[in-house]
Structure 1
Amino acid sequence: MQVSFACQYCQQKIEVKFTAEPVSVVCCANCNKNFTVMRPTIAEEILIDWKNEALFQKIRADKSQNSNSSLLALVIKVIELLTWRDKGNGQVEAIKEMRGWLIENEETPPLAELIQSDNKKRSHKRRDWR
């Protein structure tokens, strides 16, 4: 690709040939001023960028929809656990369900690790229900 422009100091025509590199440094032959020139983006490259962005947004929307469905299922399960008359451990089971969901669906590992370490600490404590 070849690009030409006029030197902003002396108006001399400067020509730049780009091969693979996106940036080139040229010197004006008339006044010895240096210019850094970026290769212009052509329409095909812009189209590829837009296609990639559209694909990224679609994947993100699909993931969001899956997360919303999963979250709705969690809410229903927690409500069931809290409202059913069982052995009296519905609240404990609801919390376990929520923790399990967070571990499976959390994108940031530190939260999942914190929940898992908290579970380990709690499992070592003995409770006396007398």
Structure 2
Amino acid sequence: MVRKKGLLTNLTRFFTLSILSENPSHGYKIMDKLEERLGKRPSPGQIYPLLKKLKKKGLISQEIEKSGDRERKVYSLTEDGREAYSRLVNRFNDVVSTILEPRLTKCAHCGCQVYEGGHQEKIDGKLRSFCCIHCANSYKRGR
């Protein structure tokens, strides 16, 4: 069973870096985008301590931006932050590939990769995998 709290905390961290890799943002904009991506709105009590921790680690920087009478703290990734985010994305890709690779099959006709499912037929005593019945039929016609 996945611990939901830990998962959301880690996803919040990951997606915060992701959001800042796209554009500098202020705290409430980050919360809006996190709500879009995670389906749950984080509280200011979650985001601002996280931003403070990321800043302390040198992964983000903060600038004050004037908006009318108000001042906003705008956060952006530092070079170290971009490198850390890039490493996280690469590690995530490696994990996903490791999980999915054994489940991938290749269509015997068109060569596309099929993740779970597809269509299988025994042809000439050998079980062959296809992405769909249409490819299976084309394969049989082309033999």
Instruction: Give your verdict on TM over 0.5.
Output: no
TM-score, with length taken from structure 2? 0.28
User: Considering only CA atoms, is the larger Rg found in Structure 1 or Structure 2?
Assistant: 1
Q: Which has the higher strand share?
A: 2
TM-score if structure 1 supplies the norm length? 0.30
